[in-house]
Structure 1
Amino acid sequence: MTDTTDLELNEEKSKSQIKRDMLALQDLGARLAELKPDILQQMQLSDELLKALAESKKHTKHIARKRHNQFLGKLLRGQDLTTIHSVLDLMDSSSRQHNDRFHALERWRERLIVEGDEALQAFMQAYPETDSQHLRGLIRQAQQERAQEKPPTTARKIFRYLRELDDAKMFEQG
């Protein structure tokens, strides 16, 4: 008889675990409230939850927002959380990939301006469709701007050109 009661106790969640799960759902509800409606449509949420998420913006006071997040957490209990988490993970990874590409292009731009032709050769190996004359002219102009301590307008042009090349490369691969 004691074996079955021990098993039942092990299967039940502790009060602390229930509270952690509840707070996680509230945090998820607050995060969903910040998303655009078209993204929320991808998650196949209930109409009641979609309506509550749309109303979230009107709750500006701290206690009202807290109460509304509790309500969102309650509504989320009946939802398919795996779908919601998969869409959120996809969004996080895509923005992380975007940031990584952005920073890589910034490093290329800086390297091209500082190192000049050596970096240009390395860049052209990575991006063979580069117009070398155009980019070489931009690099020289950016180096002159930097030497004269002018605003980095040409450096911005270089970045735009690098981003166009990278986008074209991503389009060909994807």
Structure 2
Amino acid sequence: MQNADQSDDGPLYDRPSKSQVKRELLAILELGKQVVELPLEKVKQLDLDDNTFEAIRTAQKITGREGKRRQIHYVGKLLRTADTAAIAKKMDEWENGSREQTANMHRMETLRDRLIEEDDALTRLLNDYPEADAQALRTLIRGARRERDQNAALAAGHEPQRKHYRALFQAIKLLLTKE
């Protein structure tokens, strides 16, 4: 005969296992270690309460190994009530940059290289962005091509010129961010 609390179709436990809880707490402790290693200016940008912020500042000042370890554990304990997902996301953005920003940067770099290499790339760009200043873009492209040719002829040890190359990228960036 079964108890009224148990049923054949439901789980016996409705909470996480001890192992899962321990893994989560260790992950928070590791996050705490990473936060303590951040510069104070970046720590200020995180959404932390005053007690946690002061505990992090104290941990950054401690030089002794055991004292620092204990303070980091205290920071980890305080972070249990904080929004750790938001903190981890912010730290990931600082470390890796936003994937979207990186993809946009690569797209602009590819467009710049295409404009320098292909004559009809400017025509396609002007069809997509009729408000673009065609004359200014042509001037920047000619300058970038001239720089490319001069840089190819440079002797070893000389610094290549990139003034028009960078200016063309900035013009593309300004044009694509107006969307």
- TM-score normalised by structure 2 residue count: 0.71
Note if contact 1:112-1:119 (Cα within 8 Å) is conserved in structure 2: yes
Note if contact 1:27-1:69 (Cα within 8 Å) is conserved in structure 2: no
Is 1:136 the counterpart of 2:138 in the alignment? yes
Partner of 2:174: 164
In 2, Cα distance between equivalents of 1:66 and 1:12: 30
SS of 2:132's equivalent in the other structure is coil
2:99 to 93, 96, 101: 96
Q: Which amino acid aligns with 1:123?
A: L
SS of 1:29's equivalent in the other structure is helix
Cα offsets for 1:29-52 (capped at 9, x unmatched): 244443725522xx3x33211212
Is 1:39 the counterpart of 2:45 in the alignment? yes
Is 1:29 the counterpart of 2:39 in the alignment? no
SS of 1:134's equivalent in the other structure is helix
Is 1:113 the counterpart of 2:123 in the alignment? no
Give the aligned CA root-mean-square deviation in angstroms. 3.4
% identical aligned pairs: 34
Q: Which amino acid aligns with 2:13?
A: N
In structure 2, do the counterparts of structure 1 residues 56 and 113 end up closer, same or farther at CA, with 3 Å as the change threshold? farther
Note if contact 1:52-1:72 (Cα within 8 Å) is conserved in structure 2: yes
In 2, Cα distance between equivalents of 1:60 and 1:37: 19
Q: Which amino acid aligns with 1:131?
A: D
Deviation at 1:99, TM superposition (A): 1.8
In 2, Cα distance between equivalents of 1:133 and 1:87: 46
Unaligned runs of 5+ in 1: none
Unaligned runs of 5+ in 2: 152-159
Q: Which amino acid aligns with 2:122?
A: L
- Give the count of matched residue pairs: 162
In 1, Cα distance between equivalents of 2:67 and 2:2: 46
- TM-score normalised by structure 1 residue count: 0.72
More helix by share: 1
Is 1:14 the counterpart of 2:24 in the alignment? no
Q: Which amino acid aligns with 2:126?
A: M
Select the structure of larger CA radius of gyration: 2
In structure 2, do the counterparts of structure 1 residues 60 and 110 end up closer, same or farther at CA, with 3 Å as the change threshold? farther
In 2, Cα distance between equivalents of 1:62 and 1:124: 61
Cα offsets for 1:24-75 (capped at 9, x unmatched): 11233244443725522xx3x3321121233343356776654443222111
In 2, Cα distance between equivalents of 1:158 and 1:10: 62
